[in-house]
Structure 1
Amino acid sequence: MLQILVWGGSFFLMAVMAGPIIKDTGWASQWVYGALSLSILVSALLAPLTSRLIARHGGRGVLASSGLAVAAGLGLMAASTTLAMFLLAWVVIGLGMALGLYEALFASLGALYGERAGSAITGITLISGFASTLAWPLVALLIEHIGWRATCQVYAVLLALTVAPLYLWALPRGRGSLAKQQTAVAAVVAIDRRIYGLLTTIFALGAVIMTAISVQLVSLLQGLGYSLAAAIGFGALLGPSQVGSRVLQVFARKRHPVWTALISVTLVAMGLLLVALAPGATALGLVLYGAGNGLRAIVRGLLPLALMSPADYVLLMGRMSRPSLIGQALTPLAGGFLLQALGAGGVLATLCSLALLNVLLVGWLIRLVSHASQRPS
């Protein structure tokens, strides 16, 4: 529930709040929407520092402070009378995202429970799949009745009263299982550089594809000839598909996460290819894409945990997430340029190419992991 609150007050907020802000202030839409990109960039820059803090001190205080940081950003946003003040508010929200979203949470769970963190990661990502489903109607309802500024204030109070106290109550003090592993000495990280590079690239490509679809799906489907109502209806298939695949993953915990990664990227590639090449199968394509993307969040947490020690996992989660976050921040701009230059077909062809490349990279990763497991210890 705490993850839903933090995601809803940061990453997912602008989907329903940008329109009222633009209408009320007259600020250019590219600046208002660009504020989210700014916050993601801030999160990317701070992610490695967050991992080091969690490795040294544990994740309890870091996660607790995330709600306070996002609340402070929302308070500043509510009081914004200039565009510069509005952008500063999103810098503060970006700080909260670095302290409290998946990368920080996964690192904290790894620090506390080591190799046993997998079940907790799976359960939390399953519940967090409802973040937009729950946050968007709540925020939209508040905006309709009290306006966007008061909505920011109410949400800020909700975060301040719940996130920090509940994290401090639920999580134990200290570094948990990492206390015995001298994680403060982080100069040497015992992981194959090729595996690390592949993990980072696979996650970054997945993040770029996810962001492009999240931002441009309706426009892409309209470019293929669908009406606005039909495009929105097709988009509604993504949420249930994502949650459904995560439910199925709960029953497949004994499977090595590298195979879940292969299933995830294959479903994403198949789904996008159907949307691009078989318009009559658009609904099926989006269901497959949604299922693959739903597994992606679980893979981000479980696969590195299976391939490195818990100590390295905590230290590297922030560093590994930086290219993904930078890619997410730049994707709306690059996607808009491609849509204008190449049209919907060109954007979909680009996304299909990236998805197929990701399938090949996961295949290479499986070979490396297989060879590594066969070497004598």
Structure 2
Amino acid sequence: MTRPATRLVPAGVTGGHETVTPARRTGIVAALAITQTIGYGTLYYAFAVLLTPLAVDLHASTTAVTGAFTASVLTGAALAVPVGRWLDHRGGRALMTGGSAAGALLLVALSQVDRLWQLYLVQIGIGAAAAASLYEAAFAVVIAVTTAERRSRALLAITVVAGFASSVFLPLTGWLTDAHGWRATLIVLAVLQALTVPLHAFVLRGSAPSRTLRRASQAPSRGVRAALTDRGFWLLAIGFTAHTAAISAFTVHLVAALISWGHRPAFAATIAGLLGALSVAGRLITTGLQRRHRTTTITATMFAVQAAAALLLPIAGARTGGVIGAVIGFGLGFGVATLAKPILLAERYDTRRYATLAGALVVPMTLAKATAPLAAAYLHTASGSYVSVFAAVALCCALAATMIAAASSG
């Protein structure tokens, strides 16, 4: 069985919400699996397909249009802590319902933009809608309504299903754009996004904190203060931030690196597409190993494997078999952090404060996600080679492995 790390706050706190029956719990997990798949597909992944047609119609550079997406991501980082506090105090139903509805309306608004400043304004709104309705909010709800024994399986179910969001929505968005244009595509995506509103509104009923616990949550939290002065919390923060930087840089630069090493664009894109499926496999492996090993041990090991794979990639870059092996090694750890972070926070700290603590971790992680590709591009330009880029990725993964391993005794 998994051996949880030592808590610094009262143990035995498993959620602090109204009693949820097993059937309702299953319904909540199933609903969130659907809404996270749609939400990530419409509010996040679709932008990659729409980037070029947006730039053409708005008479803007792809860099300027990409900046709007960066603004969206940074908005999510800015809202992470206040969103976390809301979730801890009031639960996820109202916030996730509102975020889903806003996301649908903003996709309609996006279909009507004809100026660059309008694109930025809408994308900032989408960043706020995503912060209110995607993974961090969903994880807070799951942790509130599940026991420690069932938590890993519930989180796994959601992340496995949502892990296919890119596999579904990237080709769907591409097909719709080719057939009907990007403006009509956004209307279709808005309709799909609107389907998440009733799921959040009706299925999440009863997951809000009880009145007694809501009053208690308004008081100053010793649990949050204890966590923020805990060495282990900051080890986790450094580890997951370094890993996020590695993942972001690897994802953005993999295709270009493979092409520079002589591979065909179609092969490079296909190899990059394996990362989504491999992330699901990695999450399944992680959950299976948790029965016998600590989550910190499993996570650190997966990150260490990624470090080795990133170092191997440029060495074997010209050989098809070597590239496939390196990408598989890296891809198996691709989605581990998404699953491990909520589990480790819930193991160590008062779960009534989970969302606030998760929000504190999301801020540096999101900043790393936004800036790491730019830093990697600078490394490539300065060195004239992708070897330095993947060496930096390996270093970040090694740092992440070290920090997560140290957190087990931190």
- Preserved CA contact (<8 Å) 1:260 1:299: no
Distance 2:207 2:138 in 1: 15
- Structure 1 residue corresponding to 2:371, chosen from 330, 346, 353: 330
Residue matched to 1:63: 96
CA RMSD of aligned residues (A): 1.9
Residue aligning to 2:164: 130
Aligned ranges for residues 223-242 of structure 1 at < 5 Å? 223-242=260-279
Displacement of 1:276 in angstroms is 2.7
SS in 2 for 1:251: helix
The 5 A counterparts of 1:138-157 are 138-157=172-191
- 1:169 is aligned to 202
Contact kept in structure 2, 1:51 and 1:316, CA below 8 Å: yes
Query: Runs of 5+ in structure 2 lacking a partner?
Result: 1-33
Cα 1:270/1:196, change in 2 over 3 Å = same
Structure 1 partner of 2:393 = 351
Output one character per residue of 1:270-326: Cα deviation in whole Å (capped at 9) or x when no partner: 221211333342211100111011222111221111111212323211111111111
Structure 1 unmatched runs, 5+: 369-377
CA distance in 2, matches of 1:3, 1:61: 16
Q: Which residues of 2 match residues 255-266 of structure 1 at below 5 A?
A: 255-266=293-304
CA distance in structure 1 between the partners assigned to 2:153 and 2:361 by the alignment: 21
Residue 176 of structure 1 deviates from its aligned partner by: 4.5
Letter in 2 for 1:145: A
Question: What code does the residue aligned with 2:178 have?
Answer: E
CA deviation map 1:53-103 (0-9, x unaligned)? 111111111112221122122122111110000110100100011111211
Aligned to 1:361: 403
Alpha-carbon spacing, 1:158–1:239, altered in 2? closer, same or farther (3 Å): closer
Distance in structure 1 (CA, Å) of the matches to 2:278 and 2:46: 22
Question: Residues 175-214 of structure 1: matches in 2 within 5 Å?
Answer: 175-176=208-209, 180=213, 182-188=216-222, 189=224, 190-191=226-227, 193-214=230-251
Aligned to 1:246: 283
CA–CA distance in 2 between the matches of 1:225 and 1:362? 36
Q: What is the deviation of 1:253? A: 4.1
More displaced stretch, 261-270 vs 75-84: 261-270
Q: Secondary structure at the match of 1:293?
A: coil
Q: In 1, Cα distance between the equivalents of 2:220 and 2:250?
A: 37
Query: Do 1:37 and 1:330's aligned partners in 2 also have CA atoms closer than 8 Å?
Result: no
**In structure 2, distance between residues paired with 1:207 and 1:178:** 37
Gap change, CA 1:179 and 1:48, over 3 Å in 2:
farther
Q: How does 1:74-93 map to 2 (within 5 A)?
A: 74-93=107-126
| Structure 1, 247-256 or 41-50: larger mean CA deviation | 247-256
**Equivalent pair of 1:274/1:285 in contact (CA under 8 Å):** yes
Match of 1:287 in 2: 328
Q: Larger helix proportion, structure 1 or 2?
A: 1
Deviations 1:327-361 (A, max 9, x none): 11222322322222223112111111111111221
Match status 1:73 vs 2:131: no
Letter in 2 for 1:221: L
Q: How many angstroms apart in 1 are the aligned matches of 2:64 and 2:230?
A: 38
Q: TM-score with structure 2 length normalisation?
A: 0.84
- 1:22 aligned residue (42, 55, 74): 55
Residue identity matched to 1:358: A
Query: Which whole-Å CA distance do the structure 1 matches of 2:251 and 2:99 have between them?
Result: 24
Deviations 1:96-132 (A, max 9, x none): 1111121121122223336343321121111111010
Distance 1:260 1:66, change over 3 A: farther
AA paired with 1:339?
A: H
TM-fit CA distance, 1:238: 1.6
Report if aligned partners of 1:266, 1:292 keep a CA contact under 8 Å in 2.
Answer: no
Separation in structure 2 between the aligned mates of residue 266 and residue 74 of structure 1, nearest angstrom? 39
What's 2:136 paired with? 103
Label 1:292 to 1:357 Cα distance change in 2 as closer, same or farther (>3 A): same
The one-letter code of the counterpart of 2:357 is L
Partner of 1:375: none
Between the aligned partners of 1:100 and 1:88, the Cα distance in structure 2 is 19
Task: Quote the offset at 1:138 in angstroms.
Answer: 1.2
Equivalent in the alignment of 1:311 = 352
- For 2:159 and 2:240, locate their aligned partners in 1 and report how far apart those are by CA, in whole Å: 16
Q: Give yes or no for contact 2:93–2:205 (8 Å, CA) kept in 1.
A: yes
Cα pair 2:109 2:122 within 8 Å, conserved: yes
- Equivalent in 301, 313, 320 of residue 361 of structure 2: 320
Percent pairwise identity: 27
Q: 2:341 is matched by which residue type in structure 1?
A: R
- Select between 276-285 and 183-192 the one with higher mean Cα deviation: 183-192
Alignment CA distance shift 1:114-1:137 (3 Å) = same
How many aligned positions are there?
367
Match of residue 373 from structure 1: none
Amino acid at match of 1:150: A
Change beyond 3 A, Cα 1:248–1:356:
closer
Aligned residue for 1:42? 75
- Does residue 297 (structure 1) correspond to residue 331 (structure 2)? The answer is no
Amino acid at match of 2:123: W
**Contact map agreement 1:55 1:178 (CA 8 A) in 2:** no
